[in-house]
Amino acid sequence: MATIADPLLAAFHATRALSAALVAPLSDADASAQSMPDASPAKWHLAHTSWFFEAFVLAAVPGYRVFDPAFAYLFNSYYEAAGPRHPRAARGLLTRPSLAQVLDWRAHVDAALAAALPGLDAAACDLVELGINHEQQHQELLLTDILDLFAANPLAPAYLPDAPPAPALRARHWQAHGGGIVRIGHQGTGFAFDCETPAHDVLLRPFQLASTLITNAEWQAFIADGGYRDPRLWLSDGWAWVQREGIAAPLRWQPDGETVMTLAGLQPLRPHAPVTHISFYEADAFASWAGARLPTEAEWEHAAKGADPGAGNQLDAPAAVMPLGSPGLFGDCWQWTASSFRPYPGFRIPAGAVGEYNGKFMSGQMVLKGASCATPRGSSRASVRNFFYPAQRWQFTGVRLAKDA
């Protein structure tokens, strides 16, 4: 058992330490506020990830003392099998427990899990590994939710003040990929979320994939050419969304078209940086305008075979992260695909409460591939299937074009 527990314990401690470091620049008020129903307070992310370990691992450990039984109602997210929960849209009303109390709870959970891990069986260790990867997802959400919160503040505060240098223009070329029957989905050993399985064969036609993401300068050209005013470019639902919401630019762009809200506060728009905070509808319209299309998730995953998923601009430590145009398929922005988030052939929902992790969300959402500047390095894979609704754009989302060969 020690051969399992030792690296798992190191990964657990590293993940928990990064979460604590991410909230260190925040006040209790910063960590308690909620900008919209889709976002959650930073304090809630810290608490929910602790609840996950407590509810699914530590509750079965003999002698474990639950830190506070009332917290289960406050910090369960969507697990029906785990009991009732506080409404998602009202998480910002939870001024108590304080941030300090939540951090005390985390220390309690950390100590208990570290003590229990050497004696856990393989199934429980699998749940610990799931919990680590679950917390890494929440680390990214914590940063994007803080950005959404600070963007709603007229003072436009910075999470951290130091912005990275602006990137230079990177030349684009089209990478050709042959067609045929290819295998996608998680294969071999190592962690994967349930929705990445089972591996299966897909028939692809020959295609080409752009070597770089679409930049802010290219998006400015799309706007200048009337891209947001031309219904011919848009899917029907997308055009209705543009009209209903008055969409005229990516989220975070300021009215002057030259300034953008970032985790470093208001910054000049970087023309050669990848455009981000765009919806699937916008990505699809841009692709139509550019005479190209979005890749399918199978095309993207096939193209990523052999690529290093830990390369590129990803999260290593607390920072005012933003897309920089790094080479490769991973990092900077999650990339919208043309594929809906549906189960793979042969998918079966796992038994128990953790079966609610991904399976019940396989409706109405689109798949994104890669990783972003806020994705904890080492947590992505070619087979990872991120997913959001077509109109959502508060994540670090971007565009990589494809076209038929």
Convert the pLDDT of each residue in 160-169 to its tens digit.
999 999 999 9
HSE-up of residue 350 (Cα within 13 Å, Cβ side): 17
How does pLDDT run across 269-321, given as a tens digit for each residue?
A: 999 999 999 999 999 999 999 999 999 999 999 999 999 999 999 999 999 99
Give the C-alpha separation, 302 to 207, whole Å: 11
Mean pLDDT of 169-175: 94
Give the C-alpha separation, 52 to 55, whole Å: 5
Report whether 109 contacts 1 (CB < 8 A): no
Contacts (Cβ under 8 Å, ≥6 apart) of 183: 199, 200, 201, 202
CATH level 2 (architecture), domain 2-151: Up-down Bundle (1.20)
Paired residues of 181 in beta bridges: 203
Give the C-alpha separation, 125 to 128, whole Å: 5
pLDDT of 345 > 50? The answer is yes
Residue 3's pLDDT is what? Answer: 54
Residue 372's pLDDT is what? Answer: 98
CATH number of 174-404: 3.90.1580.10
CB burial of 3-19 (b: ≥16 within 10 Å; e: otherwise) equals: ebbeebbebbeebbebb
Residue 322's pLDDT is what? Answer: 98
How does pLDDT run across 347-387, given as a tens digit for each residue?
A: 998 877 678 777 788 889 999 999 999 999 999 999 999 99
Give the C-alpha separation, 328 to 186, whole Å: 20
Residue 1's pLDDT is what? Answer: 45
Residue 185's pLDDT is what? Answer: 97
Mean pLDDT of 333-353: 92
Record the tokens describing residue 126, joined without a space: 């699998």
How does pLDDT run across 72-102, given as a tens digit for each residue?
A: 999 999 898 889 999 999 999 999 999 999 9
Mean pLDDT of 132-161: 98
Report whether 263 contacts 146 (CB < 8 A): yes
Q: For residue 213, what pLDDT band results from cuts at 50, 70 and 90?
A: very high
What is the average pLDDT score of the chain?
96
So where are the chain's domains?
2-151, 174-404
Mean pLDDT of 8-13: 97
Neighbours of 377 (CB within 10 A): 18
Give 62-65's long-range contacts (Cβ < 8 A, gap of 24+): 64/112, 64/116
Q: For residue 189, what pLDDT band results from cuts at 50, 70 and 90?
A: confident
How does pLDDT run across 109-141, given as a tens digit for each residue?
A: 999 999 999 999 999 999 999 999 999 999 999
**Among 220, 212, 171, 272, CA closest to 402:** 212
The percentage of the chain sitting over the pLDDT mark of 70, rounded to a whole number, equals 99
Written as one letter, the residue type at 134 is H
* Torsion angle (degrees, nearest 10) of CA 327, 331, 335, 339: 110
pLDDT of 399 > 80? The answer is yes
Residue 359's pLDDT is what? Answer: 76
